[in-house]
Amino acid sequence: MSANPAMPPSPKKILCFGYGNPGRGDDALGPELINYIETQELKNVECICDMQLQVEDITELTGREKIIFIDADMSCEAPFQYSQISARKDCSYTSHAMTPEALLYAYWKTYGKEAPPAYMLRIRGYQFELGESLSTAAEVNLGEVRKLLRIWGSDMNSLFINNKIKD
């Protein structure tokens, strides 16, 4: 498909892709962090927010130097974990649970080349009921990520580019 106004022709170097349902408690962690990063107006960072990863999201990965997926996680250590991920053929078969690794694999099989380097920022969440707001503990974890981003402030690009976010 050719480019059009809804799909910018030259994507920014870094893609931050946060996902989760803002109406389901701690599932809002991904979208909340994306909202924060957007306020920083970083010239090399594009933010995307969605409820879940879908196969068509492979089209968002093209032309990037780095991709950072951001999601709530029920099993990681608090406050967050940040690690590189790679394409993996799994069977994320539920429509709402295509994993980032499976998305990278789908990219590879579709375009015949590896996706750009990708990282996963998992923020520990605890409760996911419809209508709930962020839990207190999740707020604390989100605050820890924001604090780290604030320390780097205007040099957030460097933070992402050099992978200086560590747990």
Partner 1 sequence: MKENKKRQNLRRVAIDPITRVEGHGKITLLLDENSRVQEARLHIVEFRGFEKFIQGRPYWEVPFFVQRLCGICPVSHHLAAAKAIDQLVGVEQLTPTAEKLRRLLHFGQVLQSHALHFFHLSSPDLLFGFGSNLAHRNIVGVIEDYPDLALKGVKLRKYGQQIIKAITGKRIHGTAAIAGGMNKALSLEDRNGLLENINDILSWTQEAVTLNEQIHTSHAENHNFAAIQSHFLSMVDGEGALELYHGGLRATSITGEKIFDQFDYRGYQEIIREEVRPWSYMKFPFLTELGKENGWYRVGPLARLNSCDFISTPQAEAARKRFRAFADGGLVQDTLAYHWARMIETLHCAEAIHDLLHDPDICGTDLMVHSNEKRKEGIGVIEAPRGTLFHHYIINEEGLVEKANLIVSTTSNNQAMNESVRAVADAYIDGNEITEGLLNHLEVAVRAYDPCLSCATHALGKMPLQVELIGASGQQVDRLFKHSDGTIER
Judged by the rule CB under 8 A, the positions of this chain that interact with partner 1 are 1-2, 4-7, 19-24, 26-27, 48-56, 58-59, 71-76, 88-99, 102, 105-106, 109-110, 122, 125, 128-131
Judged by CB, which is closer to partner 1: 106, or 156? Answer: 106
**CB 53 → partner 1: shortest distance, Å?**
8
Taking alpha carbons only, the member of 51, 54, 59 closest to residue 8 is 59
CB of 153 to partner 1, least distance (A): 27
E strand or H helix at 15: strand 14-19
Q: 137 vs 161, which CB is nearer to partner 1?
A: 137
Residue 88 or 150 with smaller CB distance to partner 1: 88
State in angstroms the smallest separation of the CB of 26 from partner 1.
7
Taking alpha carbons only, the member of 138, 124, 8, 146 closest to residue 73 is: 124
* Closer residue to partner 1 in complex, CB, 161/165: 165
Distance, CA of 82 to CA of 74 (rounded, Å):
14
| Residue 1 vs 84, nearer CB to partner 1 | 1
The continuous run of DSSP H or E covering 12 comes out as none
Nearest to 83 by CA among 115, 50, 52, 117: 117
Quote the least distance from Cβ 72 to partner 1, whole Å: 5
C-beta of 14: minimal distance to partner 1 in Å? 18
Residue 126, CA distances (Å) to 69, 77, 86, 119 in order: 19, 11, 26, 22
Tokens of residue 31, six digits: 């979208």
